[in-house]
Structure 1
């Protein structure tokens, strides 16, 4: 099997995506970037009313339309209120592991586009002052954002233009090691978006035409549950490309493509899942088949939105999801190879 994936392109794309702020509800800027990349490769790009992207790869046949979905939106936070002492209370977007935010740097973006830096902290942030500094629960009620400006009260903060509803971006701390590990927040699911764009680059470079017309769907509200509740009506089957889980009784690792047989939405399409397993097995890919009971995907959102489709879920294995995540390039490569094999079979 000679599938010549451009590793440098994939990793560079992943790094740019990971370092670009795009929490759910604030994806219009990153979609403009993805649109420019897509058009430079010569493919059609459309935007839905709620800001999702659709990239069309013409196939040898239009008898079916295969959808591959990945979400570019991430976890994040918003300003909930300004305190009397000039700090920010926050509300989370999606489900980050909130204790991992303690001590993390962030940016606050105002409605008029100003950016201020800050830090997530416990409300008992100093061991020399607070007896409960080690034991206080790290949750939004007991945490706040300290702003890096000369503010002494609520009025000072309001005068900066900061107020409820402003987005707070987490510092992703993206690092790619020489040994091939990608360490960052939001590998879920920007690694998968990079996989789809890597597949697009491969098809362009090698003049590859998929068996059936294929549409890449880049969703923008997956972390809050309705990312692919709408998909183009001509899609007949949808593979969500999203992170594989690691831990407990699961067999997936950071080097594998995960094939999920069932998650919180129930079993995925049996025949599609079987095809994916057989393709991985026959082509000696590193893969794992697992059950993810505390998980939901864009395919589930599409099915719950009433779409008449078959659905499946695969993706690179990711450690420490919704915290400080990590995967390896091998997992991304195995994912891209399995997608390639599926759409050209």
Structure 2
């Protein structure tokens, strides 16, 4: 299996495991098994993320290790009320947008381990009945989940074991086209998780060592702002967040490229790191773009806000329609993989 095939296999696998912020254990268990199968010794942090050292380095750059960060948690919902008619009120986990949630199939996980299906709809969603359907603003106050169960009252829903605080997961609807487009919810950031697994696999199979020590941290609370705020190993001098690259009006990046972020809503990324990434991309012939993201925050910024003294950067495969039904391309995935290999020197 080549690198591209492996990463596509892994992105499909992790996308198939529901993991909104706060509900990531099943996906973490999968990653731990995969890292062990690759020959590594992953640790599960107290917050629930996965931390693994890929290389101890060759000793030439002590105290200047590099930490690659990507996040496994996704957007989702939580039950915050049961209506008198048996339908569920939701509160968002992360930036789940109700405009993008409408008419999506969902799974509801109870604390007793039962899983029910349903669909997220506008309240009174029949156009032939609701004359204000098109004019109604989509918000979590106007949306609801209809359970695929014969329930028509609050008591009947509670009898199923569904309560406030239960997790609601949205169907990712993953597909890869013959032309190489990867379409799914939650490519942010499970595509990057697959890329980091691909890097870990390729490094192990090469038998080479890196000049700098290398760790990977797969975080599980990025979508709520504090994923990368802890668990920086001793000896790390630089952190690279591998997250989605923004594609949209006014930006240069396309889905078939790797985006190098120079600045986002949290401010500029470390100038020397951004310059080093650009230099590495040029030298390796990687298809890249440099962009400024207007509405964005990354794991590595949470790392800095927590007090870490390190340089920081952000790269990622181009992804269109972020926080909606997202689309990228295998070429963007491979460009990101190639940039990681070019930037982190081996000997």
CA distance in 2: counterparts of 1:174 and 1:240, whole angstroms? 24
Alpha-carbon distance in 1 for matches of 2:98, 2:210: 42
Structure 1 runs (4+) greater than 4 angstroms displaced? none
Partner residue in 1 for 2:175: 175
Deviation larger for 234-243 or 132-141 = 132-141
* Matched length: 342
Q: What does 1:78-89 correspond to in 2, within 5 Å? A: 78-89=78-89
Q: Retained in 1: the 8 A contact 2:98–2:143?
A: no
Kindly report which structure 2 residues correspond to 1:117-132, keeping only aligned pairs within 5 A, or say none: 117-132=117-132
Segments of structure 1 that go 5 or more residues without pairing to the other structure are: none
- Provide the secondary structure at the position in 2 that maps to 1:44: coil
Q: Distance in 1 between matches of 2:96 and 2:51?
A: 27
CA RMSD of aligned residues (A): 1.2
Q: TM-score, normalised by structure 2?
A: 0.97
User: What is the CA–CA distance in structure 2 between the aligned matches of 1:157 and 1:206, rounded to whole Å?
Assistant: 54
Equivalent position SS for 1:10: helix
CA contact (8 A) 1:124 1:136 kept: no
Conservation of the 8 A alpha-carbon contact between 1:72 and 1:190:
yes
Q: Deviations over 1:25-62 (max 9, x none)?
A: 01111111000000011112011111111110122226
Tell me the equivalent position of 1:251.
Answer: 252
- Give 1:203 deviation, angstroms: 1.1
Matches within 5 A, 1:233-252: 233-234=233-234, 235-252=236-253
Equivalent residue for 1:291? 292
Is 1:19 aligned to 2:19, yes or no? Answer: no
Kept after mapping to 2: 8 A contact 1:5/1:333? no
> What is the 5 A alignment of 1:69-148?
69-148=69-148
Partner Cα separation in structure 1 for residue 218 and residue 233 of structure 2: 15
- In the aligned structure 2, how far is the partner of 1:325 from the partner of 1:271? 31
Match of 1:317 in 2: 318
Residue 330 of structure 1 and its aligned partner are, at CA, apart by: 0.5
Map 1:5-16 → 2, pairs under 5 A: 6-16=3-13
Gaps of 5+ in 2: none
Contact 2:176 2:182 in 1 (8 A): yes
Give SS of 1:11's match: helix
Aligned residue number for residue 278 of structure 2: 277
- Does the 8 Å CA contact 1:5/1:202 hold for their aligned counterparts? no
Residue 267 and residue 248 in structure 1: after superposition, are their counterparts in 2 closer, same or farther (change >3 A)?
Answer: same
Question: What SS is found at the alignment partner of 1:281?
Answer: helix
- Could you tell me how far apart the structure 2 residues matched to 1:296 and 1:5 are? 32
- Name the TM-score, length of structure 1 as normaliser: 0.97
Cα distance between partner residues in 2 of 1:319 and 1:232: 30
